[in-house]
A and B are shown apart, each in its own frame.
Chain A
Protein backbone atom coordinates (compact mmCIF):
# COMPACT_ATOMS: atom_id res chain seq x y z
CA UNK A 1 0.00 0.00 0.00
CA UNK A 2 1.55 3.27 -1.12
CA UNK A 3 -1.15 5.66 0.05
CA UNK A 4 -3.94 5.74 2.59
CA UNK A 5 -6.65 8.37 2.97
CA UNK A 6 -8.62 8.61 6.19
CA UNK A 7 -11.67 10.71 7.04
CA UNK A 8 -12.28 11.16 10.77
CA UNK A 9 -15.65 12.36 12.01
CA UNK A 10 -15.91 10.87 15.48
CA UNK A 11 -14.17 12.99 18.09
CA UNK A 12 -14.47 10.90 21.25
CA UNK A 13 -11.09 10.10 22.81
CA UNK A 14 -11.37 6.34 22.47
CA UNK A 15 -12.78 6.29 18.96
CA UNK A 16 -10.25 8.69 17.49
CA UNK A 17 -7.43 6.41 18.65
CA UNK A 18 -8.14 3.76 16.03
CA UNK A 19 -7.59 5.87 12.91
CA UNK A 20 -4.54 7.49 14.48
CA UNK A 21 -3.07 4.06 15.29
CA UNK A 22 -3.77 2.86 11.76
CA UNK A 23 -1.99 5.94 10.44
CA UNK A 24 0.96 5.25 12.75
CA UNK A 25 1.21 1.67 11.48
CA UNK A 26 0.99 2.77 7.86
CA UNK A 27 3.69 5.38 8.41
CA UNK A 28 5.99 2.64 9.72
CA UNK A 29 6.05 1.13 6.25
CA UNK A 30 6.43 4.49 4.51
CA UNK A 31 2.82 4.63 3.33
CA UNK A 32 1.71 8.18 2.60
CA UNK A 33 -1.26 8.94 4.86
CA UNK A 34 -3.61 11.88 4.39
CA UNK A 35 -6.23 12.52 7.05
CA UNK A 36 -9.22 14.85 6.74
CA UNK A 37 -10.87 15.88 10.00
CA UNK A 38 -14.56 16.63 9.56
CA UNK A 39 -17.49 17.53 11.80
CA UNK A 40 -16.62 17.72 15.52
CA UNK A 41 -13.33 15.88 14.95
CA UNK A 42 -11.90 19.03 13.36
CA UNK A 43 -11.44 20.39 16.87
CA UNK A 44 -8.77 17.75 17.45
CA UNK A 45 -6.58 19.92 15.21
CA UNK A 46 -6.44 22.64 17.87
CA UNK A 47 -4.43 22.40 21.07
CA UNK A 48 -7.47 23.09 23.24
CA UNK A 49 -9.69 20.78 21.23
CA UNK A 50 -7.25 17.87 21.35
CA UNK A 51 -6.92 18.29 25.11
CA UNK A 52 -10.68 18.40 25.55
CA UNK A 53 -11.44 15.07 23.87
CA UNK A 54 -13.33 12.77 26.20
CA UNK A 55 -15.02 9.39 26.06
CA UNK A 56 -18.74 9.54 25.52
CA UNK A 57 -21.85 7.80 26.67
CA UNK A 58 -21.76 4.42 28.32
CA UNK A 59 -17.95 4.24 28.19
CA UNK A 60 -17.31 7.62 29.80
CA UNK A 61 -16.69 6.19 33.25
CA UNK A 62 -13.84 4.06 31.88
CA UNK A 63 -11.79 6.94 30.52
CA UNK A 64 -9.09 6.91 33.20
CA UNK A 65 -8.60 3.17 32.71
CA UNK A 66 -8.39 3.56 28.94
CA UNK A 67 -5.85 6.39 29.18
CA UNK A 68 -3.75 4.35 31.60
CA UNK A 69 -3.79 1.34 29.29
CA UNK A 70 -2.95 3.46 26.26
CA UNK A 71 0.15 4.65 28.10
CA UNK A 72 0.99 1.08 29.08
CA UNK A 73 0.78 0.07 25.44
CA UNK A 74 3.53 2.58 24.73
CA UNK A 75 1.49 5.29 23.04
CA UNK A 76 1.25 8.84 24.33
CA UNK A 77 -2.15 9.06 26.01
CA UNK A 78 -2.55 12.66 24.90
CA UNK A 79 -4.06 13.10 21.44
CA UNK A 80 -1.92 16.11 20.53
CA UNK A 81 1.21 14.14 21.41
CA UNK A 82 0.04 11.35 19.10
CA UNK A 83 -0.57 13.87 16.32
CA UNK A 84 2.94 15.25 16.81
CA UNK A 85 4.42 11.75 16.67
CA UNK A 86 2.54 11.01 13.46
CA UNK A 87 3.74 14.24 11.90
CA UNK A 88 7.30 13.46 12.93
CA UNK A 89 7.11 10.22 10.94
CA UNK A 90 7.21 12.34 7.80
CA UNK A 91 4.46 10.28 6.19
CA UNK A 92 1.26 11.72 7.67
CA UNK A 93 -0.58 14.90 6.69
CA UNK A 94 -3.52 16.42 8.57
CA UNK A 95 -6.19 18.55 6.94
CA UNK A 96 -9.09 20.42 8.49
CA UNK A 97 -12.35 20.43 6.54
CA UNK A 98 -13.27 24.05 5.78
CA UNK A 99 -16.97 23.57 6.47
CA UNK A 100 -16.24 21.84 9.76
CA UNK A 101 -13.82 24.60 10.66
CA UNK A 102 -16.46 27.24 10.00
CA UNK A 103 -19.10 25.42 12.03
CA UNK A 104 -16.98 24.24 14.94
CA UNK A 105 -14.63 27.19 15.30
CA UNK A 106 -11.33 26.06 13.81
CA UNK A 107 -9.38 28.57 11.77
CA UNK A 108 -5.82 29.39 10.73
CA UNK A 109 -5.40 31.15 14.06
CA UNK A 110 -5.96 28.13 16.27
CA UNK A 111 -4.97 25.30 13.92
CA UNK A 112 -2.01 23.30 15.24
CA UNK A 113 1.22 23.85 13.27
CA UNK A 114 1.37 20.13 12.49
CA UNK A 115 -1.70 20.48 10.24
CA UNK A 116 -1.26 21.19 6.56
CA UNK A 117 -4.17 23.61 6.51
CA UNK A 118 -7.89 24.11 6.04
CA UNK A 119 -9.13 22.56 2.82
CA UNK A 120 -12.31 21.95 0.91
CA UNK A 121 -13.71 18.46 1.15
CA UNK A 122 -14.00 18.28 -2.62
CA UNK A 123 -10.26 18.77 -3.00
CA UNK A 124 -9.52 16.08 -0.42
CA UNK A 125 -11.94 13.57 -1.91
CA UNK A 126 -10.71 14.10 -5.46
CA UNK A 127 -7.00 14.69 -4.90
CA UNK A 128 -6.32 12.49 -1.88
CA UNK A 129 -9.09 9.95 -1.26
CA UNK A 130 -9.91 8.95 -4.85
CA UNK A 131 -6.32 8.20 -5.92
CA UNK A 132 -5.34 6.55 -2.65
CA UNK A 133 -4.78 2.81 -2.54
CA UNK A 134 -7.16 2.59 0.40
CA UNK A 135 -9.64 4.92 2.05
CA UNK A 136 -11.12 4.64 5.52
CA UNK A 137 -13.91 6.50 7.29
CA UNK A 138 -14.21 6.75 11.05
Chain B
Protein backbone atom coordinates (compact mmCIF):
# COMPACT_ATOMS: atom_id res chain seq x y z
CA UNK B 1 0.00 0.00 0.00
CA UNK B 2 2.77 2.38 1.01
CA UNK B 3 4.58 1.70 -2.26
CA UNK B 4 1.44 2.38 -4.26
CA UNK B 5 0.76 5.63 -2.43
CA UNK B 6 4.36 6.63 -2.92
CA UNK B 7 4.18 5.75 -6.60
CA UNK B 8 1.12 7.96 -7.01
CA UNK B 9 2.95 10.84 -5.41
CA UNK B 10 5.81 10.23 -7.85
CA UNK B 11 3.46 10.41 -10.84
CA UNK B 12 2.10 13.77 -9.71
CA UNK B 13 5.63 15.09 -9.24
CA UNK B 14 6.58 13.83 -12.73
CA UNK B 15 3.57 15.53 -14.29
CA UNK B 16 4.29 18.80 -12.51
CA UNK B 17 7.91 18.60 -13.70
CA UNK B 18 6.68 17.83 -17.24
CA UNK B 19 4.58 21.01 -17.13
CA UNK B 20 7.79 22.86 -16.31
CA UNK B 21 9.46 21.30 -19.37
CA UNK B 22 11.27 18.29 -17.85
CA UNK B 23 11.27 15.81 -20.76
CA UNK B 24 12.76 12.97 -18.74
CA UNK B 25 10.02 13.19 -16.06
CA UNK B 26 7.39 13.34 -18.82
CA UNK B 27 8.82 10.28 -20.53
CA UNK B 28 8.88 8.40 -17.19
CA UNK B 29 5.27 9.38 -16.48
CA UNK B 30 3.89 8.41 -19.88
CA UNK B 31 5.69 5.06 -19.84
CA UNK B 32 4.57 4.35 -16.26
CA UNK B 33 0.99 5.32 -17.18
CA UNK B 34 0.84 3.04 -20.23
CA UNK B 35 -0.52 -0.01 -18.33
CA UNK B 36 -3.24 2.16 -16.78
CA UNK B 37 -4.20 3.65 -20.16
CA UNK B 38 -4.19 0.22 -21.78
CA UNK B 39 -6.37 -1.19 -19.01
CA UNK B 40 -8.88 1.65 -19.45
CA UNK B 41 -8.92 1.18 -23.23
CA UNK B 42 -9.22 -2.61 -23.09
CA UNK B 43 -12.15 -2.33 -20.68
CA UNK B 44 -14.02 -0.30 -23.28
CA UNK B 45 -12.73 -1.69 -26.57
CA UNK B 46 -12.38 -5.42 -27.11
CA UNK B 47 -10.29 -5.30 -30.26
CA UNK B 48 -6.66 -5.20 -29.18
CA UNK B 49 -5.38 -3.03 -32.06
CA UNK B 50 -8.25 -0.59 -31.82
CA UNK B 51 -7.68 -0.29 -28.05
CA UNK B 52 -4.00 0.47 -28.67
CA UNK B 53 -5.01 3.14 -31.19
CA UNK B 54 -7.25 4.65 -28.51
CA UNK B 55 -4.27 4.68 -26.12
CA UNK B 56 -2.28 6.60 -28.74
CA UNK B 57 -5.18 9.04 -29.20
CA UNK B 58 -5.21 9.46 -25.41
CA UNK B 59 -1.46 10.17 -25.34
CA UNK B 60 -1.88 12.89 -27.98
CA UNK B 61 -4.72 14.47 -25.97
CA UNK B 62 -2.77 14.21 -22.70
CA UNK B 63 0.07 16.03 -24.42
CA UNK B 64 -2.26 18.71 -25.76
CA UNK B 65 -4.03 19.23 -22.41
CA UNK B 66 -1.01 18.93 -20.13
CA UNK B 67 -1.42 22.55 -19.02
CA UNK B 68 -4.87 21.75 -17.57
CA UNK B 69 -3.53 19.34 -14.95
CA UNK B 70 -3.64 20.67 -11.38
CA UNK B 71 -0.69 19.14 -9.40
CA UNK B 72 -2.63 19.38 -6.14
CA UNK B 73 -4.97 16.66 -7.47
CA UNK B 74 -4.20 12.99 -8.21
CA UNK B 75 -3.02 12.50 -11.79
CA UNK B 76 -4.48 9.00 -12.34
CA UNK B 77 -8.14 10.11 -12.63
CA UNK B 78 -7.02 12.88 -14.98
CA UNK B 79 -5.17 10.44 -17.25
CA UNK B 80 -7.93 7.82 -17.07
CA UNK B 81 -10.68 10.37 -17.83
CA UNK B 82 -8.87 11.51 -20.99
CA UNK B 83 -8.37 7.91 -22.11
CA UNK B 84 -12.05 7.08 -21.42
CA UNK B 85 -13.07 10.07 -23.52
CA UNK B 86 -10.89 9.00 -26.47
CA UNK B 87 -12.29 5.45 -26.27
CA UNK B 88 -15.88 6.73 -26.27
CA UNK B 89 -15.14 8.98 -29.26
CA UNK B 90 -13.54 6.07 -31.11
CA UNK B 91 -16.48 3.76 -30.42
CA UNK B 92 -18.95 6.45 -31.52
CA UNK B 93 -17.06 7.07 -34.73
CA UNK B 94 -16.87 3.37 -35.42
CA UNK B 95 -20.62 3.15 -34.82
CA UNK B 96 -21.20 5.91 -37.36
CA UNK B 97 -18.88 4.29 -39.89
CA UNK B 98 -20.51 0.89 -39.42
CA UNK B 99 -23.88 2.47 -40.17
CA UNK B 100 -22.56 3.44 -43.60
CA UNK B 101 -20.51 0.35 -44.30
CA UNK B 102 -21.40 -3.26 -45.04
CA UNK B 103 -19.16 -5.93 -43.52
CA UNK B 104 -16.96 -7.37 -46.25
CA UNK B 105 -17.62 -10.90 -44.88
CA UNK B 106 -21.10 -10.68 -46.39
CA UNK B 107 -19.43 -10.76 -49.80
CA UNK B 108 -17.11 -13.65 -48.98
CA UNK B 109 -18.47 -15.84 -51.76
CA UNK B 110 -18.44 -13.07 -54.34
CA UNK B 111 -14.84 -12.20 -53.53
CA UNK B 112 -13.74 -15.83 -53.39
CA UNK B 113 -15.14 -16.71 -56.82
CA UNK B 114 -12.87 -14.53 -58.98
CA UNK B 115 -9.93 -15.63 -56.83
CA UNK B 116 -10.53 -19.18 -58.01
CA UNK B 117 -10.92 -18.07 -61.59
CA UNK B 118 -7.94 -15.71 -61.56
CA UNK B 119 -5.75 -16.43 -58.55
CA UNK B 120 -3.18 -13.94 -59.80
CA UNK B 121 -5.49 -10.94 -59.28
CA UNK B 122 -6.41 -12.03 -55.75
CA UNK B 123 -2.83 -12.57 -54.68
CA UNK B 124 -1.94 -9.21 -56.20
CA UNK B 125 -4.70 -7.57 -54.10
CA UNK B 126 -3.35 -9.28 -50.98
CA UNK B 127 0.18 -8.23 -51.85
CA UNK B 128 -0.92 -4.62 -52.33
CA UNK B 129 -2.67 -4.57 -48.94
CA UNK B 130 0.41 -5.96 -47.21
CA UNK B 131 2.65 -3.56 -49.11
CA UNK B 132 0.39 -0.64 -48.20
CA UNK B 133 0.57 -1.57 -44.54
CA UNK B 134 4.36 -1.82 -44.73
CA UNK B 135 4.64 1.43 -46.65
CA UNK B 136 2.52 3.28 -44.09
CA UNK B 137 4.66 1.86 -41.28
CA UNK B 138 7.76 3.30 -42.93
CA UNK B 139 6.40 6.85 -43.25
CA UNK B 140 7.86 9.52 -40.96
CA UNK B 141 5.91 9.93 -37.73
CA UNK B 142 4.18 13.23 -38.52
CA UNK B 143 3.05 11.99 -41.95
CA UNK B 144 1.72 8.77 -40.48
CA UNK B 145 -0.21 10.64 -37.76
CA UNK B 146 -1.61 13.06 -40.34
CA UNK B 147 -2.63 10.26 -42.71
CA UNK B 148 -4.12 8.26 -39.87
CA UNK B 149 -6.25 11.10 -38.45
CA UNK B 150 -7.23 12.93 -41.61
CA UNK B 151 -7.70 10.05 -44.03
CA UNK B 152 -8.20 6.76 -42.19
CA UNK B 153 -10.13 8.20 -39.24
CA UNK B 154 -11.81 10.64 -41.62
CA UNK B 155 -11.73 13.43 -39.02
CA UNK B 156 -12.37 17.06 -39.94
CA UNK B 157 -9.03 18.91 -40.18
CA UNK B 158 -9.74 21.03 -37.10
CA UNK B 159 -10.41 17.96 -34.97
CA UNK B 160 -7.41 16.11 -36.38
CA UNK B 161 -5.37 19.19 -35.55
CA UNK B 162 -6.72 19.34 -32.00
CA UNK B 163 -5.87 15.68 -31.47
CA UNK B 164 -2.44 15.65 -33.02
CA UNK B 165 -1.16 19.00 -31.88
CA UNK B 166 -0.18 19.77 -35.50
CA UNK B 167 -1.51 22.94 -37.09
CA UNK B 168 -4.09 22.59 -39.88
CA UNK B 169 -1.49 23.73 -42.41
CA UNK B 170 1.10 21.23 -41.17
CA UNK B 171 -1.53 18.47 -41.29
CA UNK B 172 -2.41 19.28 -44.91
CA UNK B 173 1.24 19.28 -45.93
CA UNK B 174 2.00 16.06 -44.03
CA UNK B 175 -1.08 14.29 -45.46
CA UNK B 176 -0.18 15.38 -48.97
CA UNK B 177 3.41 14.20 -48.59
CA UNK B 178 2.28 10.91 -47.08
CA UNK B 179 -0.08 10.21 -49.98
CA UNK B 180 2.63 11.15 -52.50
CA UNK B 181 5.18 8.93 -50.78
CA UNK B 182 2.74 6.01 -50.74
CA UNK B 183 1.84 6.51 -54.39
CA UNK B 184 5.50 6.59 -55.36
CA UNK B 185 6.33 3.55 -53.30
CA UNK B 186 3.32 1.45 -54.29
CA UNK B 187 3.46 2.53 -57.89
CA UNK B 188 7.02 1.18 -57.93
CA UNK B 189 5.93 -2.13 -56.40
CA UNK B 190 3.26 -2.73 -59.01
CA UNK B 191 5.70 -2.05 -61.79
CA UNK B 192 8.28 -4.35 -60.27
CA UNK B 193 5.75 -7.06 -59.44
CA UNK B 194 3.60 -6.91 -62.56
Partners in one complex: no
